[in-house]
A = this chain, B = another copy of it.
Amino acid sequence: VAGEAPAAKVEYTAWLRNSKNTAPLLLHTMYRVKNLDATLRFYVDGLGMKMLDRIDIEARRATALFIGYTPDVCLELVNAWDAASPYSHGNGYGHIAVGVPDLAGIFTKLKAMGVEVIQRPMAIVEGGPLCSFVRDPDGYAVELVQTGE
């Protein structure tokens, strides 16, 4: 997909979600991914996020996918068309967290999709909410937190 037929007209509104706000706001978290198909399978098919925008920037030979549940806050997942080796993760960056109303259900679904499990659903701290950790196709940790009841 990447590299084929970049969009003729580039829309920059993806950077400016909620641009009508007169107060500062968190817009997105950006990280780099190697394979757009695998990324979409995990975040859209698996986690149920929507692809909000796609920007193909020929001059930078990169594609940015803006993905999230609502346009209010999202992930910017950047695929450099010519990147060769996998990205390294260091030990500073941790994870993004997704709140889900049915942790058991989404966990079962992701496992069936072959997603790597870091931690099965459990209360990480006594009395805390049930949490699970899985890895996205590039190895980034994604925390799933049971919300509501």
In the complex, which residue of chain B has the Cβ closest to the Cβ of A57? Answer: B125
Contact between chains at B98 and A26 (CB < 8 Å): yes
Number of copies: 2
| Pick from B24, B75, B88, B91: contact of A47, CB under 8 Å | B24
A28 close to chain B: CB less than 8 A: yes
A148 & B26 in contact (Cβ 8 Å cutoff): no
CA distance A138 to B93 in the complex (A): 11
Interface size on A, residues (CB 8 A): 63
User: Does A69 reach chain B (CB closer than 8 Å)?
Assistant: yes
Q: What residues on B are CB-neighbors of A31 within 8 Å? A: 92-94
> Is there an interface contact between B101 and A92, defined as CB atoms closer than 8 Å?
no
- Decide if B21 touches A99 in the complex (CB within 8 Å): yes
A57 to B23, CA, bound (A): 32
Which single member of B32, B91, B101 contacts A32 (CB below 8 Å)?
A: B91
Q: How close is A65's CB to chain B, nearest CB, in angstroms?
A: 13
